[in-house]
Chains A and B, each alone.
Chain A
Amino acid sequence: MTDYGPGIVVRKPFAEAARKALRDSQLRRNLGKATSHIRRKRGEVVHELPDWQELREAGRAIKERTLRHLDHHLLTLEASVTRAGGTVHWARDGAEAALIIGDVLAKHDAREVIKIKSLTSDEIGLNSALSTRGIKAYETDLAEVIVQLGGDTASHIVVPAVHRNRAEIREIFKRNMADTADLSDRPADLTAAARRYLRQKFLTVPYAISGANFGVAETGSIVIFESEGNGRMCLTLPRVLITVMGIEKVVPTWRDMEVFLQTLPRSSTAERMNPYNSVWSGIKAGEGPEEFHLVLLDNRRTEVLADALARETLQCIRCAACLNVCPVYERTGGHAYGSTYPGPIGAILTPQLNDPGPAETLPWASSLCGACYEVCPVKINIPRILVHLRGKVVRRRRQTLAGKLSPESVAMATMARVFDNPRLYEWSQRAAAIGQIPFLHGGVIDRLPGPLAGWTAMRDLAPVPKQSFRAWWRERKQGTGRP
């Protein structure tokens, strides 16, 4: 079980992981180029819709209403899927979901399984869990193939291999695919090589695993949007199909899909419509899979739901628009977040699915610039939730004496006392003007100690002026004799 690593377990504090990524100027250039390209394209297709803001509001309202009665809609979904000949399983956490999926495959003596790109399966570390039972999972989304064959992890929700360039992809393919000795790095040649590799899997492996963009409760239908058609292969050729779906992905009716069919493609791949929109409801004799299993995954989603100030997190439809506009993501890339869910949505989702530890640094991985909230097609107020989660982390840390007495905690408490006492506050202003003298060089402060050293690494600090505004005001008032 050594390699069993669920995708949301963060191992390093964000600042430390980001430092490494920031040093990689090639990565920064690649990402800057990729994200600005998709940003521009998204802007174009969004501006075509005069009712974009109404669609955002409708998407938010549908998700909010659904989450309010989540239990009801999930039971409806279960009944509909069962009626249509599928089997529904409930998984409390990732380990339980992996066990259920492994058991279904083991019953068929499956040694191999093909996969549609699925964040939820990454979240629970499904590939590693299956490999411990001797089942090899093959990714079939082109970018996921690049990630899997490169022994790598995804760095973006929609474009998992955004951190790789053509030359790197060629090397990965040459090492892992047959008859690729003379492979060029032209995109057409690379996709042709991937196609040869994948076709062989599609035609020989009769078991498949998918995630779900949506689960429509009224008909028990699972919906997948994709661009390549490889997902369609996985959905139609195998005999057994298993879908793992987070419980927040349910929508009550087909009418609700009208909104998301417009907002998701535009927000994710900047397309008016995805090239492949697959829908299936249970099984049908003589057509597609003979056996269908739906695994409904909690994995702390009900805990997120219980937090009234954070439950909006569950409205997410995984479009990654927030990643593409985020100035932090654009510079650090996705790996710095250490999770299946990077970027702004990851900064709020990952810590809520995690134990206390390095994941708790993620709510601070933001300048609160608000660009994410502005583009979110379901209006998740990410900056507000980031601040709420910061508060939860601070309160938890302060429950211990060490946390309460940490330099930051003491400094914040002291400053709050100073700010609540105008005399003490004014005295502190004067003290700062005097206390800064040892740090002044040539009229600026260019080197500070301790935690403030980060400021002066690349930034000067202007000195504190001798006279504060309030001191000037008092002088002026006395000078003019006004009361």
Chain B
Amino acid sequence: MRIALFIACFNDTLFPDTGRAVVKVLERLGHEVEFPMAQTCCGQMHYNSGYQDETVPLLRRFVDVFEDAEAVVCPSSSCVNTVRGNYARIAAGLGDAELARRVDRLVPKVFEFAEFLVKKLGIDDVGAYYPHRVTYHPTCNSLRSLQVGDAASRLLQNVKGLELIELPDAAECCGFGGTFAVKNADTSIAMMTDKIRAIRTTKAEICTALDNSCLMHIGGGLSRERSGIRAVHLAEILAATEEEAPR
């Protein structure tokens, strides 16, 4: 399959390793990955922060760039949810029937990375090797908005060498929430503190998830506490093999 990668601006700029890992896994499975250079941002930050007028040109750009793709894969469930959960309503609100039709055709082709592997390709073993104790935090967008279910856990369970440890109160939000983390920093940190306490009880070396945004927040707290636990995107775990260990 020819897969268009939507990396998301956040990953492009701050977490390029995640993008490289997605490419590696998909190519290892025999697919062809393309990366349209005209892509930038889905508009999530603007939309969720109330700057909804600013989202419109970004939505148009996304549609222009990706509408001809066979499938679009993105390693960020919150960005996929922006497209899947909001684009149709935004387009309808603009009263642009042609744009609304283009959005309707595109949206079913856009997938979150783990969801794409398990639900679309029907694969839950990608031949990875990752000899570490790992706990999985289901991010709110992957859990409640996209409802990826056990996709990530199934992928992790099939990673050789990996010990998956259940996270207590896993479904509770980590407290990131985009601009919430800054505008309501105290509440965000209170939520993070409890999430980190739960992570520490697992004695895992790695906390993984499907969103680098949440992982940046959790990882930032783990780093400040000098916990020794690292936050790593699921794609990077799946990209690791016996021949080629992660950095």
Chain A: CB-nearest residue to B143: A370
One digit per residue, 1 when the CB lies within 8 angstroms of any chain B CB and 0 when it does not, for chain A 308-325 equals 000000000000000000
A49 interface residue, CB < 8 Å from B? no
Interface of B is mostly: helix
Q: Is the CB of A327 within 8 A of B13?
A: no
In the assembly, what is the distance between CA of A432 and CA of B224, in Å? Answer: 22
> Which residues of B have CB within 8 Å of A452?
182
Interface residues of B in 1-31 (CB under 8 A from A): 7, 9, 11-17, 19-20
Chain B: CB-nearest residue to A463: B14
One digit per residue, 1 when the CB lies within 8 angstroms of any chain B CB and 0 when it does not, for chain A 1-18 equals 000000000000011001
A19 interface residue, CB < 8 Å from B? yes
In the assembly, what is the distance between CA of A394 and CA of B46, in Å? Answer: 11
B69 to chain A, nearest CB (A): 16
A434 interface residue, CB < 8 Å from B? no
In the assembly, what is the distance between CA of A139 and CA of B240, in Å? Answer: 64
Q: Is the CB of A457 within 8 A of B189?
A: yes
A275 interface residue, CB < 8 Å from B? no
B213 to chain A, nearest CB (A): 11
Q: Is the CB of B187 within 8 A of A465?
A: no
Q: Is the CB of B224 within 8 A of A460?
A: yes
Chain B: CB-nearest residue to A474: B37
Q: Is the CB of A416 within 8 A of B48?
A: no
Q: Is the CB of A462 within 8 A of B219?
A: yes
Q: Is the CB of B16 within 8 A of A465?
A: yes
Interface residues of A in 284-337 (CB under 8 A from B): 327-328, 331-332
Which one of B51-59, B103-111, B150-158 is at the A interface? Answer: B51-59
B162 interface residue, CB < 8 Å from A? no
Given A367-B191, A444-B223, A465-B14, the answer on whether A412 and B182 have CB atoms closer than 8 Å is no
Q: Is the CB of B40 within 8 A of A425?
A: yes
Q: Is the CB of A429 within 8 A of B58?
A: no
Interface residues of A in 326-366 (CB under 8 A from B): 327-328, 331-332, 363-366
B175 to chain A, nearest CB (A): 6
Q: Is the CB of A368 within 8 A of B180?
A: yes
Partner of A327, one of B16, B49, B141, B172: B172
Interface residues of A in 441-471 (CB under 8 A from B): 444, 446, 451-452, 454-455, 457-462, 464-465, 467-470
Which one of A112-120, A215-223, A385-393 is at the B interface? Answer: A385-393
B131 interface residue, CB < 8 Å from A? no
| Total contacts A-B at CB 8 Å | 184
> Which residues of B have CB within 8 Å of A331?
187, 190-191
> Which residues of A have CB within 8 Å of B17?
465
B188 interface residue, CB < 8 Å from A? yes
A473 interface residue, CB < 8 Å from B? yes
Q: Is the CB of B144 within 8 A of A369?
A: yes
A293 to chain B, nearest CB (A): 42
Interface footprint category on A? 35 or more
Which of A373, A393, A470 has the most chain B CB within a 10 Å cutoff?
A: A470
A433 to chain B, nearest CB (A): 9
> Which residues of A have CB within 8 Å of B45?
415
In the assembly, what is the distance between CA of A482 and CA of B171, in Å? Answer: 43
Q: Is the CB of B175 within 8 A of A327?
A: yes
Interface residues of B in 53-79 (CB under 8 A from A): 53-55, 57-58, 61
Chain A: CB-nearest residue to B78: A368
Q: Is the CB of A467 within 8 A of B16?
A: yes
Partner of A22, one of B54, B187, B224: B187
B152 to chain A, nearest CB (A): 17
A182 interface residue, CB < 8 Å from B? no
Q: Is the CB of A18 within 8 A of B184?
A: yes
Chain A: CB-nearest residue to B173: A369
One digit per residue, 1 when the CB lies within 8 angstroms of any chain B CB and 0 when it does not, for chain A 387-407 equals 100111111000000000000
> Which residues of B have CB within 8 Å of A468?
12-13, 16
> Which residues of B have CB within 8 Å of A473?
19, 35, 37
B84 to chain A, nearest CB (A): 13
> Which residues of A have CB within 8 Å of B61?
419-420
Which of A14, A392, A452, A458 has the most chain B CB within a 10 Å cutoff?
A: A458
> Which residues of A have CB within 8 Å of B186?
15, 18-19, 22, 454
In the assembly, what is the distance between CA of A22 and CA of B173, in Å? Answer: 17
> Which residues of A have CB within 8 Å of B47?
387
One digit per residue, 1 when the CB lies within 8 angstroms of any chain A CB and 0 when it does not, for chain B 160-204 equals 000000000001110111111111111111111100000000000
A-B contact pairs, 30 of them (CB 8 A): A15-B184, A15-B186, A15-B187, A22-B190, A28-B190, A328-B184, A364-B179, A367-B178, A367-B191, A368-B177, A368-B180, A369-B140, A390-B50, A412-B49, A416-B46, A416-B58, A432-B13, A455-B181, A459-B223, A462-B14, A462-B219, A464-B14, A465-B15, A469-B7, A469-B11, A469-B12, A469-B13, A469-B20, A472-B16, A473-B19
Q: Knowing that A416-B51, A422-B38, A455-B181 are A-B contacts, what are 5 other residue pairs whose CB atoms are under 8 Å apart, sorted by A's residue number?
A: A18-B187, A368-B180, A412-B51, A429-B12, A455-B220
